[in-house]
Amino acid sequence: MLRFTSIYFYLLILLIVIYFKHIICNDKLLEVNTFSDILRGGLSGGKKINNTNQSILETQNETDLIDEEEKNDKNNFLLISDNNFPPKYNVFCVPRSVSLKDRFCYGNLDAYIIACAHNNYPLHLASFCFGFKHLCSKVNFPNDKFCDDEYEHYQKFCKINDRDWCALDTKVYCDYANGNGTADDEVSRLAYGCYCDPYKCLIRKGGLHTAEWCQRYELFCDSKKREEESQELSQILSKTIVVHQHCTIFLHFAKVLCNPFGPDYDQERCTKFLFDCELITDFTKTKSLTNTK
């Protein structure tokens, strides 16, 4: 009997303790107004909220701060440069032949030297720079004496009879391929140029290797055209966004996404990656990368 009385007494004490703890917890919960109050320690006792007016004042201050930040964001407009480069630097042909590869490499040598030096690529020329480096890095370009030294060979093998008519016929063929009359549409013309050979007529007359050599000579030795294109490109470059070298080599993402001759090329993702990299990177901490090749 005595043992039963002792057990009953202990159970009664336990129930009383549980009851008081329940009341205390309810009081604590009533003091907590929001989830942010819980984070401040409303349940843990880190900060006991007793002043309702103070809570309202703090909430009002937070709202004013958010409104001020939104106002500042509206005033700080995000400037994105338009792509004003000629289409020839943004239309890429799969190099299915030596002729196509030479047209890209020999025809864009000056552009690469001017725009892509030291891996600091213009935002809208990143694909071009990566593509040229990938496709043309091992091309053995001729020296400055090539044009004068080989001029007689050019006259003999490339300036054959009826060459002018042949070139005109080929140009019409390339501009109006598949019956599409878009001679004024540069993008379409360049795209169709991937499937037609402007030296087709010369191939028939002099052979494939002769035509390839003539094309290299004409692309490399047309100093007037090269100078005009270089001046045009230099003027555009003065008004364009240049991507820091850190972004063009960062984790090799750009090398994968921006190479137009690679299997994972995606021009939109390439531009987005480089632009985001420019926005989020603190370049004051990346000076060690400026001389990386």
Q: pTM score, two decimals?
A: 0.65
Query: In order along the chain (293 residues), what is the average pLDDT of each group of 10 residues?
Result: 62 65 50 37 42 51 56 50 84 90 95 88 93 94 93 87 58 55 63 79 86 94 94 90 84 88 91 88 59 39
The pair of structure tokens assigned to 177 is: 């391929």
pLDDT, position 192: 73
pLDDT, position 151: 94
Please give the single-letter amino acid code of residue 149. D
pLDDT, position 119: 78
First-residue to last-residue Cα distance in the chain: 93
**Using an 8 Å Cβ cutoff, are 261 and 92 in contact?**
yes
Nearest Cα neighbor of 118 from 242, 259, 227 is 242
pLDDT, position 77: 43
Sequence ranges of the domains in the chain = 2-63, 99-289
- If 0-12 CB within 10 Å is exposed, 13-18 middle and 19+ buried, where does residue 202 land? buried
